[in-house]
Every structure is written in structure tokens, then in C-alpha cells.
Amino acid sequence: MTLSGKLTGNIVIIEKRAIEELYNTSFYGRPRGDMLEVSLTESAYLMYIGKITVEFEGKELDFKQFFLKASHALKNFELLYIVYKDLRERGYYIQPAVTGFRVYPRGGHPGKTPAEFFVFVTSERSPLLLSELKTHLDTVENLKKRLVLAIVDEESDLTYYEVKRIVPSGSWKLKQDKQLSTASLLEDRVMVWDDETSAVLHKEGFFGKPMDQGHLQLSLVESCYLLNRGVLEIQRNRETLNFDEFSGIACNIESDFMIKYTVYEKLRDSGLVPKTGFKFGTHFRVYGDFESLASMSHSDYLVHAVEQEHVFSLQQLSRAVRLANSVRKEMIYGDGTGFFVIGRVRL
Amino acid sequence: MTLSGKLTGNIVIIEKRAIEELYNTSFYGRPRGDMLEVSLTESAYLMYIGKITVEFEGKELDFKQFFLKASHALKNFELLYIVYKDLRERGYYIQPAVTGFRVYPRGGHPGKTPAEFFVFVTSERSPLLLSELKTHLDTVENLKKRLVLAIVDEESDLTYYEVKRIVPSGSWKLKQDKQLSTASLLEDRVMVWDDETSAVLHKEGFFGKPMDQGHLQLSLVESCYLLNRGVLEIQRNRETLNFDEFSGIACNIESDFMIKYTVYEKLRDSGLVPKTGFKFGTHFRVYGDFESLASMSHSDYLVHAVEQEHVFSLQQLSRAVRLANSVRKEMIYGDGTGFFVIGRVRL
């Protein structure tokens, strides 16, 4: 028999019987005294599946009336409903949380097991602050749960992404510890003129790209790293540049040079070999195991450097993750303080 | 025997013999009177392959000295050199042009055949104005040639993209010509409440996404199109919205709504079926042949709507094209006046 609830503010209060029939069996709502309190999202779903009717000021509401009311009362109600329905229909027990849902592992439920995922619901259109994402990650990781973003696109299709911190590391080491030669900063790249240095840098560290026999072109981040490690001297118009001078020039060429460099240095210092990711639309493609040039295979990660104040466009994030996955790589964002891997997850 | 040239301003002038040995056989330079004029890019390549030596103010320059001088004298010299060398080594005859090169078809050469491609050389870092791209296209298409962008990334790797105008068209037609029902604009999407309308719109036009039995969620562009065609009435808070009111609200939700809508409408009116391209990081995925929902296969194009003042970041362009190609679709940009397909091309 259909249970009857009353819409009161932003919740629906259902008669006592609901505790047994809805909560104890299927974990809808939360018991309060001898009544069951049910959120707007849960109520819409319970109406849809015919478990409850809802009245407001003495009049029964139909689904459309309830939906319009809820949509008015609760920000993102439609999104929350879409995600709630999807997760329920996949057989998960879920409970409302501040900006989304707590989702229990398969076979688990409230009172038996802790929640496994924290699902943060957002629209494709909402910009996502990196700082906000990090706050969510902190909260969720403190509770030893996993963070999932549920992104609803304009046609109400859903994509789930899992976000994790990661500490990437590899086996590469810089062997040179003294200055090898003097290179020239040209317009927006650096040229090593010396045969031997060109060969050593390319072979042992996969630095640069051989332009001709004996000439190696280095990117700005590569040159800056080698300058900073004392392996290269770099001149422009016969003047030797120190780290600050070089990076100052580089910042004029690329406005995001410093954050790119910071992330590049962290990757190299963690034993990884980053090369440009231009063809993938990211800052770097990164090789995890670098033994020698000859034994190299495909890169493992795509890494994009972002400022700590970065605001993700979810459309761009979606494109980056999709592209990375289509070439079997992980999509990683680095902000100089840490790295985050973002990947699609099938719940 | 090596030929000897003199660097004068931004060109190298080579003795008479060069006309026979360099121009007549391999189409380097341009004869002027009884001397051969050779550009800086061509000269660097000819020095590299040991065909010429170059002197300046009575002193012979080595490759490094010449390269540094040329790099000072000519904007983008390194980029031009990289592209020139690559095309020459692939066996093409090429001639300098204002912002790049004219490239002759395989088997063709200056004096025998017209050039086939106009190659526009640019750095990954340079922003590319849509208006500039259109000017190039106009010029190149007037000359009945093909436009190729040669993009040099920070590590001097090269990618070639061909840009073409395209007039996409398909077989879909809007069958409804009268108002079917009244839908509600909720937060940022529209809900059709009526069973029959939901079914007809979804089946015959692949509009929206069925949320529940009998309820169809439409995106803003879809709703606006159906409103404009008189198929749907749309209300918010019981007030009926006209086209201007609806699109005004939509613009507040999505700042790029109008250009998206303009492109959406052009696609629908050309018989194509656009759906959201969110999962691909673009505005639309587009189906070319739409007979019925049941017979639909994969979409054919990804279409991104851009303002006429749009400035492409080449990194983003690269990512979009790569992603489109990885799912075997064509990447198309539309600015309301026309459509451009951009794809990688192997020369």
C-alpha cells in the first residue's frame, strides 16, 4: 500500500509505518522519533516508483507539481534527482549529504558498513575550483572514502569521475653533475651546438630533439632545468643568463611558464621523464620508466600544470580525461603542491 | 663543388652557376638576372647539406653563426627552418611565401605545375585568430590551393593540419508543424511532462533524454529550437516565454548560448541531428543520417561553436582534433557564418 507523506519545508515527513517499510528494508530517509524524514530527492524517486504520495497544505501533489516545487526549493534539484535515480537503479544504497550523496558499497548499507564513495554532484556548466576540489578530497580522504564527481551534462547524461591524489615516481636519474657546454637561447627555444653534449643529453635524459646531426633543440622548461642543475650554460646575444634571467624571459614567452616549470622539475626530481604533451593537448606526456632511449615505449601519463587558483571548465576536463583514456594514459593535474589523477569510473 | 654565396640583408646571393646547379635541378631560390637569390631558410638548409658556403662582410660563416644571424633577422626563423627541412626531406619542392611556404605536389615543381598546398607556419604558442584563418582560407581557396597549418611544438615536433570549408547536410526533417504541448523551464533544463509529446520528440528528432516514463528532459538549445519552430510552448512559473525571453534566460545560464544556438539551428535546418558533445569536450556530436532512433549508429562529426572573434589556442585545437580522430569523427568549427573542418594531414 502506498504510504502518505507531508511536504514540510524542504523535507517530507512520512507516517510511522514508513520506518519499517522504507527505511529498514531499503534505507530510504532517516527515522526521527516515530516518523520517517525523507529528502526532496528521495521523495521524488519514491513518488516515481509509486511507494509514496505527498500532500502539501491538505492537497495531494502529482509528480509534476512536486517536481516543480522541489526544483524551486532546492538548488540543483534536477541534477540530484538524476544522479539519485541512476545510483538507486544500479542497486546502490545511498544517503543525502551536503553537496551530493554518500554511497554504500555493493552489499553494504547504512548501519552495517561505512559508505564507500562520496558523490559530489555538479552540472557540466558549473566551473569547478581546484581549491574546492582539494577541500572535498581532504574531507573525503580523512573519512577514508573515495571521491566521485557526478557530472550531469546539458542533456542529462551522467558521467562519473574519480579523483585521487597520486605521488608519481620513476627510475630516471640525472647523471651529469657538471657543466657540459654553452647553448644559445634563440627566439623561443634553446639550441645546443655541441655534438657530444647533444648526444649525452638526448640519450641519457631524453632531453630535446635532435634538429640536425649534432644540434639539439631544447624546450624552455628543459633548458631551464638543465641550467638550474648546472649542466648547461645558456647565452643570449653572447650574454650568459642566470636562472632568474632565463626564467624571466621564458615567462614573457609563455605566461604559464613558472607553474609548468615547477611541475616539470617535480616530475624530473621524482625520476620521471616528461616531454611535451602538445599532441595530446596537455603540457606533458610522462614516461614512468626510462632506462634508455632505445628501450622506450609509450608514455604513461598526461600531466597538465595548473595554478592553485585554477578553475576547471568541466567540458575541458571531460575532453582531457577522454583523450588520455583513449590513448591508455592517466590524466594527471599538478599544481606544484601535489598531483591529482582524474579518471572515469564505472559505478 | 660547394657554391659560394653572400649574405646581403635578408637574402643570400649566389654566383651564376647556382641557377643551373640549385634552381634548375632542385628549385632552390629564385633567379634574379644572372645570380640566384636564396632565402635565409633555404640557405641554412643548403649549408646544412653542404651545397653552399655563405660569407658576410668578407668572412665565411659557420652554421651556428649563420643560424644565429638568421634567427635575429627573421621572425620565426627556427620554425620556418624546421618545417622547410621536414618538407624537403619528404621530397617536396617548396618555395617561400609570406607566412610560410608554397608546396608543389609530388612529381610537380615550379614552372611545371602550380603549387598544391599553402603551408602556414606557426608555433604551438601563438594564438590563432579565426578571422586570420578565414583570410588565409579565402586567399588560398581563390588560388585553388589547399591550406595546411604546420604547427611546431615546444620540442620542435611538427604536426600538419588541413583546414577546409565544409557545408554539412543530412536527411533529417522536422515533421511537426504545430504546437504539441507545454513544457516547463526548470533551473537549467526544460521538462516535457506529456507522454505523447515526449515520445514523438525523442523518436522522430532524437530530442532530449527520457528521464522517466513519459517525461522528457530537453537541453536549452533543443528547447529553444522547438520553441522557435512553434512546436513547444515553454513556461516558467506559469508564465509563457517567447523566443527572446527564453534565449535571454538561457544566455544568463550559458554565456555562449547564442552562438551555440545559431550553430545548432543551422545544423538542424541542414538536416543534421546535433546532440550534446560534452563527453567529447565539444558543444555537439552530430549525426549525419537520421532515419529512426533504432537505426542510429555513431555520430559523424564533433562540432564546436565559436564566435567570429574567436582566438584558437593551438593546444586546445590539437586536443580537439586528436580526440575527434581517435573516435573516428571529423572536428568541425562553426561560427554562425560557415563551418570549417580541421584534421591532421600526413604530407
Report whether pLDDT(B150) > 90. yes
Establish if A202 belongs to a structural domain. Answer: yes
C-alpha cell at B149: 597549418
The answer to whether the CB of B284 falls within 8 A of the CB of B266 is: no
Query: Measured between CA atoms, how close is B207 to chain A, in angstroms?
Result: 9
CA B265 to CA B259: how far, in whole Å?
A: 10
Taking contacts as CB-CB distances below 8 angstroms, the residues of chain A near B71 are: 186-187
CB B66: neighbour CB atoms within 10 A? 22
Do A211 and B316 lie within an 8 Å CB cutoff?
no
Q: Are residues B14 and B100 in the same domain?
A: no
Q: Are residues B293 and B274 in the same domain?
A: yes
Taking contacts as CB-CB distances below 8 angstroms, the residues of chain B near A156 are: 189, 209, 211, 217
Q: Are residues B189 and B270 in the same domain?
A: yes
Establish if B173 belongs to a structural domain. Answer: no
Taking contacts as CB-CB distances below 8 angstroms, the residues of chain B near A155 are: 208-209, 217, 219, 222, 275-276, 278
- Helical residues (DSSP H) of chain A, grouped into ranges: 17-18, 25-26, 40-48, 63-73, 77-89, 130-142, 195-205, 220-228, 243-253, 257-269, 314-326
pLDDT at site A295: 78
Establish if B118 belongs to a structural domain. Answer: yes
DSSP 8-state secondary structure symbol assigned to residue B129: E
Q: What is the pLDDT of residues B153-171, one digit of tens each?
A: 988 899 999 999 999 999 9
Q: Are residues B118 and B213 in the same domain?
A: no
Taking contacts as CB-CB distances below 8 angstroms, the residues of chain B near A260 are: none
* pLDDT tier, B289 (very low <50, low <70, confident <90, very high otherwise): confident
Query: What's the mean pLDDT in B3-16?
Result: 94
Q: Where are the beta strands (DSSP E) in A76-189?
A: 94-97, 100-103, 117-123, 128-129, 146-152, 158-166, 181-185
Domain boundary residue among A74, A89, A111? A74
Domain boundary residue among B135, B163, B191? B163
- The closest CB to that of A154, out of B85, B278, B322, belongs to B278
Taking contacts as CB-CB distances below 8 angstroms, the residues of chain B near A211 are: 82, 156
Do B276 and A154 lie within an 8 Å CB cutoff?
yes
Query: What's the mean pLDDT in A298-315?
Result: 95
Establish if B311 belongs to a structural domain. Answer: yes
Taking contacts as CB-CB distances below 8 angstroms, the residues of chain B near A187 are: 71, 75-78
Report whether pLDDT(B50) > 80. yes
Domain boundary residue among B53, B74, B95? B74
pTM for this predicted structure:
0.90
Q: What CATH number corresponds to the domain at position B323?
A: 3.40.1350.10
Do B219 and A155 lie within an 8 Å CB cutoff?
yes
pLDDT at site B273: 96
Cβ within 8 Å of residue A168, ≥6 positions away: A267, A270, A272, A286, A288, A301, A332, A339
Query: What's the mean pLDDT in B80-86?
Result: 96
Q: How far is CA A313 from CA A129, A284, B1, B56, B278, in A?
A: 9, 19, 60, 53, 11
Query: Which of A86, A155, A218 to mutate to test binding with chain B, by most B CBs within 10 Å of its CB?
Result: A155
Do A188 and B67 lie within an 8 Å CB cutoff?
no
Q: Are residues B83 and B203 in the same domain?
A: no
Q: What are phi and psi of B144, to 5 degrees?
A: 55, 40
- The closest CB to that of A68, out of B63, B184, B282, belongs to B184
Number of domains in chain A: 2
Residue of B nearest to A222 (CA): B155
Structural domain including A230 reads 173-258
- Helical residues (DSSP H) of B148-240, grouped into ranges: 195-205, 220-228
Establish if B257 belongs to a structural domain. Answer: yes
Report whether pLDDT(A87) > 80. yes
| Catalytic status, residue A304 | no
pLDDT at site B98: 80
pLDDT at site B294: 78
Q: What are phi and psi of B102, to 5 degrees?
A: -95, 130
Q: Are residues B36 and B111 in the same domain?
A: no
| Catalytic status, residue A329 | yes
Query: What's the mean pLDDT in B118-130?
Result: 94
Q: Are residues B69 and B83 in the same domain?
A: no
Mean confidence (pLDDT) of chain A: 94
Report whether pLDDT(A111) > 90. no
* pLDDT tier, B200 (very low <50, low <70, confident <90, very high otherwise): very high
CA B18 to CA B2: how far, in whole Å?
A: 10
Q: What is the pLDDT of residues B99-123, one digit of tens each?
A: 789 999 998 999 889 999 999 999 9
Mean confidence (pLDDT) of chain B: 94
Q: Are residues B117 and B157 in the same domain?
A: yes
- The closest CB to that of B156, out of A124, A189, A279, belongs to A189
Report whether pLDDT(B182) > 90. yes
Q: What is the pLDDT of residues B183-194, one digit of tens each?
A: 999 988 999 999
Report whether pLDDT(A307) > 80. yes
pLDDT at site B40: 97
Cβ within 8 Å of residue B94, ≥6 positions away: B84, B87, B88, B101, B102, B103, B104, B119
* pLDDT tier, B246 (very low <50, low <70, confident <90, very high otherwise): very high
pLDDT at site B48: 94
Cβ within 8 Å of residue B62, ≥6 positions away: none
Establish if A323 belongs to a structural domain. Answer: no
CA B24 to CA A7: how far, in whole Å?
A: 90
Q: What is the pLDDT of residues A143-162, one digit of tens each?
A: 999 999 999 998 889 999 99
C-alpha cell at A284: 606533458
For chain B, how many helices (H) and strands (E)? 11, 24
Q: Are residues B48 and B126 in the same domain?
A: no
Do B281 and A184 lie within an 8 Å CB cutoff?
no
Residue of A287, A301, A304, A333 marked catalytic: A287
pLDDT at site A290: 82
pLDDT at site A291: 79
Query: What's the mean pLDDT in A170-184?
Result: 92
- The closest CB to that of B193, out of A64, A85, A153, belongs to A64
Q: What is the pLDDT of residues A114-135, one digit of tens each?
A: 999 999 999 998 999 999 999 9
Q: Are residues B102 and B135 in the same domain?
A: yes
Q: Are residues B88 and B123 in the same domain?
A: yes
Q: What CATH number corresponds to the domain at position B132?
A: 3.40.1350.150
CA B80 to CA A68: how far, in whole Å?
A: 61
Establish if A335 belongs to a structural domain. Answer: no
Per DSSP, the three-state class of A264 is: helix
Query: Measured between CA atoms, how close is A268 to chain B, in angstroms?
Result: 16
Q: What is the pLDDT of residues B315-330, one digit of tens each?
A: 889 999 999 998 999 9
Report whether pLDDT(B199) > 90. yes
Report whether pLDDT(A64) > 80. yes
In this structure, of A79-93, A289-303, B65-79, B222-236, the range with the lowest mean pLDDT score is A289-303
Report whether pLDDT(A89) > 90. yes
Q: What CATH number corresponds to the domain at position A64?
A: 3.40.1170.20
pLDDT over 90, % of chain A:
85
Q: Are residues B66 and B103 in the same domain?
A: no
Establish if A310 belongs to a structural domain. Answer: no
Q: What is the pLDDT of residues A19-55, one digit of tens each?
A: 999 999 999 999 999 999 999 999 999 999 999 999 9
